[in-house]
Each structure stands twice: as C-alpha cells, then as structure tokens.
Amino acid sequence: MAAEILTIGDKMDLHHIYSAMGGLLAEKTYTSQLLDFDGIRHAKILMPIVGNRVVPLELQDEYELLFYTEKGMYQCDARIVDRHVEKNIFVLEVDFITELKRFQRREYYRLDCSIDILYQKQTGKEEYGPQKKGVLVDLSGGGLRFRAPEEVQQGEKMQIEIPLPFAKGNVYRRVFLDVKSCVKSEKNLFEIRGEFENLSEQSRETIIRFIFEEQRRRMKKE
C-alpha cells in the first residue's frame, strides 16, 4: 500500500515522539523530504535543516512522519536507524514502525483558540468594506469560526487576515470566507462560521501545520 502512495520527493513533517536516551522531546516540528523508499518499511529522507544548519537527529529516536502526497496526507511512526552523507547530501535512514495511514482531518485539524483577527465584508465583486476586529475561536483546514460585534448573513463573503502564532513568530495568512451561519453569542457578539474559498494548498498546509504544532504543544503541557 505504502509503495502506491509515497513518491520520491514528497515533503514531510517530523514530530519527535520518543527519545532513546531518555532526553526531552524536541518541541520543534522539522521538515524533510523523501529521498528513497524500498516500498515496504525502509526509507531515506533528507536530514532537517534549521537556519542553514543541519540537524543530526539521534539514532534510535522515534518520530511521527506526516507526508504531503498527491493522494493526500498520510502518517506513520518511524525510527532513525542511520545517518550519513551521500553525494554531499545529509541523509537519515528510517524504518517505519507503524502502518502508513491516511491523516484523519476531523480528529486533528480543528483547533479551539483565541486569536485576534481583522475581517472585511465583501461589498462588490472585488471590493471590501473597512477592516474590523474579531476574535478567532475555532480553526481547521477547511474553515473557521470567529466572534464579531456585528451580524452577517449566510452566504455573505468575507476577507480575513489571520496571524498564526508559530513558535518563531507570527505567519500571516489572508483567507476568503463563505459564511455558513451567524448566531448571537455572549456580550452582544455574533459567532460567525464559514468555509474557506479558493484557498491555496500552500496556505492550507501552513494552517494545518500550525494546528498540528499547537495541538502537540498543548498535549505536552497536559
């Protein structure tokens, strides 16, 4: 099955889940790329690079791999079994220790949060009204929910600027929203729920990566 899903060159995220030496788990999510795969359970991947510095992950440590493939997002756990240099490329060799499975969006992609945002209501084909302040309370790879001081109608279009607070600083994304519902909330606020429209894959992956990192950060604190 894995051989039919993974393609050489697929990008991936690595999340530290086990330290063989009993050390602290890395909080950072590393990025890598698939270099070679035997079609069963052994793969070669690019050693992560952070700030122009190669990060030699420890042997026998285990990571959750999240692959971004043409068939969607898939994940498995893997163990670092070797590291070396091939033709001036720093390589990690890993063994898959769990089955490759489709990444379950409903379970992982939704995040309860409280993030200040700016929104604008569409007033014409490519025209928007003044920016107003709102608070993002729920975010997923497919849409969001936020609170605002004014009511909007189902089917209205909006433009929203979201500062995603990654560990190294905010990453800003502008998204377009199709409003699906608006209900009266507390303190004269309205809770607006909508789905993203024409969201680029790059922006979607950035949002999903933020959600995943934030979820893992919260789990470590519990």
| Total number of domains constituting the chain | 2
Same domain, 141 and 198: yes
Whether residues 114 and 98 share a domain: the answer is no
Residues 98 and 126 in one domain: no
Q: Give 186's pLDDT tier (boundaries 50, 70, 90).
A: confident
CB 194 within 8 A of CB 178: yes
Which residue among 83, 102, 121 closes a domain? 102
**Which residue type sits at 194?**
G
- Provide, rounded to the nearest whole percent, the portion of the chain with pLDDT above 90: 55
Residues 150 and 78 in one domain: no
Residue 37: phi and psi, rounded to 5, are: -150, 130
| Helix/strand number for the chain, H first, E second | 3, 15
CA distance 132 to 148: 8
Tokens representing residue 66 in the block: 């999240």
| Residues 139 and 169 grouped into a single domain | yes
Hunting for tokens 């992982």 — which residue is that?
A: 108
In a 13 Å sphere around the CA of 14, the CA atoms on its Cβ side amount to 29
Read off the CATH number of the domain in which 72 is found: 2.30.110.70
Give mean pLDDT, residues 41-54.
Answer: 93
Domain C-terminal end among 55, 74, 102:
102
Give residue-wise pLDDT tens across range 71-98. 878 999 999 999 999 999 999 999 999 9
Minimum mean pLDDT range among 37-41, 127-131, 171-175, 216-220: 216-220
With cut-offs at 50, 70 and 90, classify the pLDDT of residue 32: very high
Q: Which residue, of 82, 102, 122, is where some domain finishes?
A: 102
118 and 66 share a domain?
no
Same domain for 64 and 88, yes or no, is: yes
Based on the fold, state whether residues 9 and 96 are members of the same structural domain: yes
Handedness of CA 23, 25, 26, 29 (dihedral sign): positive
Q: Are residues 215 and 148 in the same domain?
A: yes
Cβ 35 vs Cβ 88: under 8 Å: no
Q: How many whole angstroms separate alpha carbon 4 and alpha carbon 8?
A: 11
Residues 129, 32 share a domain: no
Q: What is the CATH number of the domain that holds 120?
A: 2.40.10.220
pLDDT at position 106 is 45
Question: Which structural domain range is residue 178 located in?
Answer: 110-220
Domain co-membership, 85 together with 116: no
- CA gap 75, 44 in Å, rounded: 16
Asked if residues 78 and 95 have their Cβ atoms less than 8 Å apart, the reply is yes
Does one domain contain both 213 and 141?
A: yes
Per-residue pLDDT, 220: 61
